[in-house]
Amino acid sequence: MKEKVRIFLQEQEVNARIAEIAKKISDDYAGKEVHLICVLKGSVFFMCELAKRITVPVTMDFMSVTSYGNDTKSSGVVKIVKDLDEPLDGKDVLVVEDIIDSGRTLSYLLNILEKRNPKSLRLCTLLDKPERRVTDVAVDYTCFNIPDEFVVGYGLDYAQKYRNLPFIGIVEFVEE
């Protein structure tokens, strides 16, 4: 099987929505500093674009948590690959995720982070697939709710490919 990518959300549409969400975050955190936690690797593109548009002071850290491997579905087994470099005590934390699917990974991650005593803990995602949810996760900022399709681009990958696409595309598998 060979894969091909069909455009689902154009680059301009994604950028416009990120700007809207950044304004809402800036308003919600007015007078505060927000500490962004990027969930690697997929969220890097989104977090950079989001951070550039947030008008309050921003600090950032990176964490790598996986449950996919090279498959198109979450395995349900969560593994921390890289932990944070700085403590969260007393910080207003915003976890930045590329996509929320089953919710297992984010539920696990948020439980870990909550125990690190942040002043506040919120969640922002580029894409959300609420119909795939098996674990309840409260999402504070969502750019797009999407159908149950396997998507790539803007940091999202299939077997480490397609992250660099400037749009969100749907992977379609075709016979060779």
Any domain includes 129: yes
Q: What 8-state DSSP symbol labels residue 104?
A: H
The answer to whether residue 24 sits within a structural domain is yes
Domain-located, residue 174? no
**Quick check: 71 pLDDT over 60?**
no
Evaluate whether residue 61 is within a structural domain.
yes
Q: Between 161 and 69, name the one with better pLDDT.
A: 161
Q: How many structural domains compose the chain? A: 1
Strand partners, 78: none
Instruction: For residue 174, count CB atoms less than 10 angstroms from its CB and return exposed for 0-12, middle for 13-18, buried for 19 or more.
Output: exposed
Residues 6 or more apart from 173 whose CB is under 8 A from it?
Answer: 1, 2, 3
pLDDT at 24: 98
Residue range 121-167, pLDDT digits in tens: 999 999 999 998 898 899 999 999 999 999 999 999 998 899 999 99
Task: Give the confidence band of 46 by pLDDT, cuts at 50, 70, 90.
Answer: very high
Domain that holds residue 117: 11-147
For residue 155, give every residue at least 6 positions away whose Cβ sits within 8 Å of its Cβ, in sequence order, or none.
41, 42, 43, 44, 45, 46, 98, 126, 163
Q: Which residue from 174, 155, 36 is spatially nearest to 92, judged by alpha carbons?
A: 36
Residue 167 resides in a domain: no
Segment holding 109, helix H or strand E: helix 104-114
> Is 70 exceeded by the pLDDT of residue 76?
no
What pLDDT does 169 receive? 97
Determine, yes or no, domain membership for 84.
yes
Q: What is the pLDDT of residue 116?
A: 97
Instruction: Select the more confidently predicted residue: 71 or 19.
Output: 19
Residue 175 belongs to some domain of the structure: no
Quick check: bond before 23 cis, omega within 30? no
Angle, vertex CA 12, rays to CA 38 and CA 128, nearest 5: 45
What rounded mean pLDDT belongs to the chain?
A: 92
What residues act catalytically? 101
Closest CA to 81 of 97, 65, 68, 70: 65
Q: What is the pLDDT of residue 89?
A: 97
pTM of this structure: 0.90
Residue pair 63/37 in contact (Cβ under 8 Å)? The answer is: yes
pLDDT above 90 (res 77): no
